[in-house]
């Protein structure tokens, strides 16, 4: 499930990269968040870097060129989709409600992206 809801992900002719990686990235993070909500605490370590960088991006402490490359699309998406949520988020104490909100964000299809 890709919130960008954008393109046919199969190979399309010559030299078009497969976009399944972007789709997969969102699926993985959605899966991690569901696992956390199911009580699997060890998945928090996989989500935390994304949360930290999304908050830093919102607060302009880092830019697009310096945020983590792993999970890049998800970090930017979350930061653009919910800047006020991340600016107010206490990253040392992320609640299940916060995880549930992030899961809702990245599993909601959208055809718009903030500039």
Partner 1 sequence: MSYTKELLLLHLTHAKQALERAKNNSYSDQRKETYQKNLFDLFDAVEKDALDNLDTFKDQQIYDGSKKYLDFIIKSLQFLNSSTFNQIPYEIVECLKHAMDDWEDIDKFIIVTSLINDAEAFSYEGWLATDDNLYNDIHTKYPAINFTHRLVQINLPKALARDYLVAVVLYHELGHFVDMKSSISESLLYAILDGIYQNTFSVGELNDLKKYLPNLTDYIDDPDRPDWVPMKAGFDPSLYHLMEYFSDMFASQYVGGMCDLYVTYLCEDKNELSDTHPIIINRRKVVSDFIISAPNFIVNAIAESVQKIKSHPLEKKYADVPDGDFFNLVPLELKTVAEIHGVLHTGWDIWLKYQNVLASNLNSKDPSKIYSVINNLIEKSIGNYISISEWDKVKGTVPPSESDAGYVQSNQLNNQKNILTKSDIRELINQTKLFIRPLLDLDQIGEAGIDFRLGYDFLVSVQGRDAFINASKNEWIQGGQRRNIKQFFQSSRRQLGETFILHPNQTVLAVTLEYIRLPENCMMMLFVRSSYARLGLTISTIAQPGYCGCLSLEFTNTNNNPINLAVGARIIQGILCPVSNSTHYFHSQRKYVCHVRPEPSAVINDNDLSLLNNLWKINNDRP
Binding residues for partner 1 (CB under 8 A): 4-7, 11-18, 20-21, 24-25, 27-29, 31-32, 34-35, 42-43, 45-46, 63-66, 69-73, 76, 110-115
Looking at the Cβ atoms of 76 and 94, the one nearer to partner 1 is: 76
Coil, strand, or helix at residue 67?
A: coil
Looking at the Cβ atoms of 21 and 87, the one nearer to partner 1 is: 21
Looking at the Cβ atoms of 27 and 98, the one nearer to partner 1 is: 27
Encoded tokens for 58 = 């919102």
């Amino acid at each position: 499930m890709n919130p960008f809801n954008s393109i046919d992900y199969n190979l399309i002719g010559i030299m078009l990269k497969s976009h399944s990686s972007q789709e997969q990235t969102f699926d993985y993070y959605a899966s991690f968040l569901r696992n956390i909500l199911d009580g699997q605490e060890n998945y928090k370590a996989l989500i935390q870097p994304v949360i930290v960088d999304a908050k830093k991006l919102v607060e302009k402490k880092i830019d697009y060129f310096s945020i983590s490359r792993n999970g890049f699309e998800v970090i930017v998406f979350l930061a653009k989709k919910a800047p006020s949520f991340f600016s107010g988020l206490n990253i040392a104490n992320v609640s299940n409600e916060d995880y549930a909100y992030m899961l809702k964000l990245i599993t909601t299809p959208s055809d718009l992206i903030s500039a």
